[in-house]
Structure 1
C-alpha cells in the first residue's frame, strides 16, 4: 500500500487530469452519439503527444526507438481499424457529425491503455536504467506505440466513413 501511495503522490496532476478525462470519454461512449471528427481526434492526440513526450524524454533522437514505436503504431492502427469496422457509423455531410452506436470497447481500452502507459513510465522513473535494457525498451515502445495506434486506427476509420459520405453527397 505504501508503494501505491508513493506513486500516486509523485504523479503529476496533469496525469490525473488525463485519467479523469479518459474515464469521462469512455463512459460517454457507452451510449449512441452524434459527434464531430474533431472531438474524436482528442483521444488519439492525447496518446500521441504522451508517446512523443515519453519517446523524446527517454530515448532522445534514437532512430531505432522511433522506428520501433512507429511499428507499434502501425500494428495498433490495424487493430483499431478492425475494432470499429463493423460498427454502425454514418456521417452527416450537412452538419459534419458522425452518428455511431454505443462503443463498449472504449472504456476498458482507455483504462487498460492508461494503466499500461503509467506502469511503463513509473518503471522508467524508478529505474531509469531500464531504458537501456533492450527487451524492456522494445516492449515499452511496441506496446506504447500499439496502444496509441489503436486509437489512431479507430480515428482513421471514422475519417474514411466521413470521406466516403462526403463523396456520395457530391452531386454529379
Structure 2
C-alpha cells in the first residue's frame, strides 16, 4: 500500500483535476444532451493535446515516433467513426447546437485513456530506462494515439452531421 500512496502523493494536482473533469464528462455522457460543437471538442482536444505534449516531452518530434503516434491516431479515428456512424445525431443550425444520444462508450473510454496515460507516465518516472525499449516506446506511442484518435473520430462524426445540416440550410 505504501507504493500506491507514493504514486498518489507524487501525482501533480492538474492530473487529479483532469481525472475528475473527465470522470464528470463521462458520467454526463450517459444522458442524451443538446450541446455545442465547442463543448463536444473539449475532450478530444484535451486528450490529444496531453498525448502530443507527452510525445514531445518524452521522445521529441522525431519522424519515427511521430509517424507511430499518427498511425495510432488514424486507427483511433476509424474506431471513433464506427462507434457513432449510426447514432441519431441531429444538428440544429438555428441554435448552433447538436443533439446527441446517450453515449455509453464515453466513460469507459475516458477512464481507459486516462489509465493508459497515467500508467505510462508512472513507468517513465520510476523506470526511465524503459523509454529506450522498443516495445515500450511503441506501446507508449500507439496506445495513447489510438485512444486520442477515438475521441477525434467521434468528434468528426458530430462535425460531419453539423456540416451536412448547415450545408442544406444555407440560402
TM above 0.5: yes
Instruction: Show the counterpart of 2:68.
Output: 68
Matches within 5 A, 1:73-112: 73-112=73-112
Deviations 1:89-125 (A, max 9, x none): 0000111100011111101111111111110111111
Instruction: Show the counterpart of 1:54.
Output: 54
Instruction: Show the counterpart of 2:10.
Output: 10
Instruction: Show the counterpart of 2:132.
Output: 132
Deviations 1:109-147 (A, max 9, x none): 111111111101111111111111111101110101000
* Runs of at least 5 residues in structure 2 that lack an aligned partner in the other structure: none
Instruction: Show the counterpart of 2:117.
Output: 117
Q: Distance in 2 between matches of 1:39 and 1:58?
A: 29
* Runs of at least 5 residues in structure 1 that lack an aligned partner in the other structure: none
Q: Distance in 1 between matches of 2:20 and 2:89?
A: 26
The list of structure 1 runs, each at least 4 consecutive aligned residues, that deviate by more than 3 angstroms after superposition, is none
How many residue pairs match? The answer is 171
What TM-score comes out, normalization by structure 2 length? 0.98
RMSD: 0.8
Q: Distance in 2 between matches of 1:149 and 1:169?
A: 30
What TM-score comes out, normalization by structure 1 length? 0.97
* CA drift at 1:170: 2.0
